Amino acid sequence: MDFWDLGQWGSTIIIAIALVRTIRRNGKDQKARDTTIAKDTADREAVTQERLRVLAEVIKSPHFGLAALKEDIGHIKTNCADVTSGFTERLKTLEKTEKS
């Protein structure tokens, strides 16, 4: 083995050590990124679930939700029925007075 062979082996070993260190460092960095991404995703999901819970409570609320809307529609239907029946009665009385 001459000097050049030793140099080639030495440089190969140095490069191999550098590659192993780079691979390990990249793995640690990727693990840290994955942990951060998982935490951010869990935080976003928690916020979304909280928003959905609040929205469901508002929808079920008797003062603001669908129950209140149903009650308002019931009042509108009753009012329309009263107005319509009032007009029907008025028309009937008008027809009776015209025929007389």
The domains of the chain are located at 3-99
Residue 40 has pLDDT above 90, yes or no: yes
Q: Please give the model's pTM, rounded to 2 decimal places.
A: 0.46
H or E element: which one contains 62? none
Residue 99 has pLDDT above 80, yes or no: no
> How is residue 38 written in tokens?
């998982």
Best-predicted range by mean pLDDT (40-54, 66-80, 84-98): 40-54
Provide the residue type at 36 as one letter.
Answer: T
Band the pLDDT of 13: cuts 50, 70, 90. very high
* More confident position, 2 or 52: 52
